[in-house]
Structure 1
């Protein structure tokens, strides 16, 4: 089968798209004979910032000369993006070979799409002679398929409300699920200034060493009047002056700081990462769909995957810090299980003109634009113009936008992917 045929096949091998638990995937991993995916492993969980933090860790480690594998999800344009080895997306043939190996091992065990993909990535990593494997948690942490691997360092970027149907309706419950990636006597790097007590309680209960931002390491943004854009990362006895990240959002300094702390927490015994590699990695790390900016005939188009209120607050901070010369127009499309009203409330002060778009082509959680608009009936976006999909929204909004205007396209990975495809065609 081709890669496309394999992806269609694995989507059909479990009656649910999400089925939390580790028993199935552990059993198949044992049948595959999987060992360690790399000499060192960092697992990255959290509500927001996971993808960017993975990118910073990967870029820094590669600048230090390490051979690195990164497993991320979801992808934007092609499945190959989910598995990177030494900076390159996995090829179709390699992924097909990995899926064939997983299929032979699983027998009649039903597995979800994500579980198939995780085992395939681990199978490829084990054969790639990696110095470091970085695993991004798909959902939660404790029962996520990536948690069959014991990390040398675990990272929780943030804890906020999202995926409540699976993780719980309050921060303490969600924090408990995310803290499940921590391991006894291993570092747990925390990117929240005030993490839920469930996270700290889990660390203390198992003897994990909590490495906390604002306590054990710090980041100092450059003064507003600084002539050369820079910022400082520091811990007791060590400080590094660094260039501003290529990634634009204010939260990226925090993500970068967490990535540095995670790498410094690894026990590398003579293979330590120097300050120069850290600086180069911070400057070059890039993730598509995170405030990714384009220009079309004097109109700025900004694409972002942000899909929950915490991410929307970061978008609002960026809009305030970098105001557009003209009108800010938002194209918003989101899946049906997200807090759309909370997102609009967070961004209301930074958007002049709302446009709503449907995601009906992405079942089961995607909906048409009328159903989406009904969920926003009590918000400022309710009077926004409706479009059947993201592409038609971009057609219409660009036609009416003037020089100096900004178009923010956001709300989900599906939204960002549709925007990037449209921009590629344009």
Structure 2
């Protein structure tokens, strides 16, 4: 049952609590409700719009686009989800999180025209972001799709350029249980006659077919754009533009060159609307920041934070961990939501972790620590080596030759099963505290599995005075 709408002048926290009860379902895909409310609000964005969809890599791609466009002097809005510490992280204007007051003002405006219509938390958040962008008179907005594409609230906007970062198995109860089905849902962010950037090296045929059917201008990695590099620098090559001698992005991880290439392909496709110089690109990639994505904290023991929560993301995480060198022991703090493929996800790290510290995540979608521990015990004795990447992806470490999409790396050699320790905790904070107590300076601590796992740990570190958000 819905709470009463907050009174005028209510705090943002009150509004967020209200939004959680406003609509009968937490996730209710469809554009009819939000479109009707947007029309009542006379919502219109008179600026360049870039939409970013995909299973993994969306947040990083959005962050790099924002950073490069800000370096070029544009007024930029960015909308992403979910958040790690504060709701305000979802809505950014000119490189700054929106204020409580600005967000509340938009919620009040939306509430005034709702009538009998109810919207989900995400739909209300999306409208608030779009209204704030409209009021800010921006040059360009970067919009991350929340779930899928076809029926996601962000797809309300007719984009000038769509990016599809990757297609893999996630949210299958909503999008389908094959890459073909999921790809088709995500490809619906494409628009007729507009550039559609596909950074999945081996995209489902449904993506290619849908782009052709609607007349989108499909740009495929390995066909229309690509990259090459060595240990010092890398280069982007597109249809008509080449950018050489680029420094590596500040974001760590094996997939970041692929994400950066997708962002640069979008900028190339929009070059008649947006002028971004080579220096803007260099500065943007140098200063981009996105907490919780292969984030390695300074100090000892090495501490890695990663919000990855599906097999595709954790395969990349495993590859990144391998590139860090040898550590005597790896302690993994993990918490996951129950709508994820937990066993397939955790199995990607089964041979890389010495001690698992399983944490309960609260809420209806949370998985108990005991359930996680049972899965860990089941997979930890397996002698099947984890794939360094699943079949339709590829290794994307700093390359020494031109990238070859679709080529699967050689399988990792079999690793003998090891005895691992598994323990359970009531929260990620408790699990992390125990990991810190156990780990020596030469060991490493990995925190992963969900925004709801990494966020609380980041908050612990922030309250200790650690610089964890830059």
Residue equivalent to 1:130: 138
Deviation at 1:344, TM superposition (A): 1.7
Partners of 1:243 and 1:292 in 2: CA distance:
18
Mapping for residues 144-159 of structure 1, pairs under 5 Å: 144-159=152-167
Residue 172 of structure 2: aligned partner: 164
CA 1:413–1:234 in structure 2 vs 1: closer, same or farther (change >3 Å)?
same
The number of aligned residues is: 416
Match of 1:6 among 8, 15, 33: 15
Deviation at 1:236, TM superposition (A): 4.2
Pairing of 1:8-407 with structure 2 (within 5 A): 8-36=17-45, 38-222=46-230, 226=231, 229-240=232-243, 241-269=245-273, 271-295=274-298, 298-359=300-361, 361=362, 363-380=363-380, 384-407=422-445
Q: How much has 1:425 moved relative to structure 2? A: 2.9
SS of equivalent residue, structure 1 residue 35: coil
SS in structure 2 of the partner of residue 378 of structure 1: helix
**Deviates further, 177-186 or 382-391:** 382-391
Q: Secondary structure at the match of 1:20?
A: coil
Moved more, 231-240 or 88-97: 231-240
SS at match of 1:172: helix
Distance in 1 between residues matched to 2:239 and 2:258, nearest whole Å: 18
Relative to structure 2, which stretch is displaced further, 237-246 or 97-106? 237-246
Determine if the alignment matches structure 1 residue 414 to structure 2 residue 452.
Answer: yes
Distance in 2, matches of 1:390 and 1:323, equals 26
The C-alpha deviation readout for 1:328-352, integer Å capped at 9, x for no partner, is 2111110111111111221223222
Counterpart Cα distance in 1 of 2:110 and 2:437: 48
The alpha carbon displacement at 1:11 in A equals 1.1
Contact 2:351 2:380 in 1 (8 A): no
Q: Give, in whole Å, the separation in 2 of the partners of 1:94 and 1:348.
A: 45
> How many Å separate the matches in 2 of 1:165 and 1:236?
38
Give the drift of 1:267: 4.8
CA displacement, residues 314-339 of structure 1 (integer Å, 9 cap, x when unaligned):
10110111124432211111011111
Is the contact made by 1:42 and 1:135 (CA closer than 8 Å) also made in structure 2? yes
Question: What is the Cα deviation at residue 365 of structure 1?
Answer: 0.4
Give secondary structure in 2 for the equivalent of 1:60: helix
Structure 1 runs of 4+ aligned residues shifted over 3 Å read: 374-377
Taking structure 1 as reference, are residues 221 and 356 closer, same or farther at Cα in structure 2, changes over 3 Å only?
Answer: farther
46-55 or 281-290, larger mean C-alpha shift:
281-290
Q: How far 1:301 sits from its partner (Å)? A: 1.1
Distance 2:239 2:44 in 1: 36
Matches of 2:262 and 2:120, distance apart in 1: 31
- More displaced 10-residue stretch of structure 1: 377-386 or 62-71: 377-386
Q: Distance in 2 between matches of 1:329 and 1:318?
A: 16
CA distance in 2, matches of 1:349, 1:371: 20
Unaligned residue ranges in structure 2 (runs of 5+): 1-9, 382-419, 465-470
Q: Deviations over 1:94-119 (max 9, x none)?
A: 00100001101111101100000001
* Higher percent of residues as helix: 1
1:371 Cα offset (Å):
2.5
Greater shift in the superposed pair: 235-244 or 8-17: 235-244
Structure 1's 377 and 401: CA in aligned 2 closer, same or farther, altered over 3 A? closer
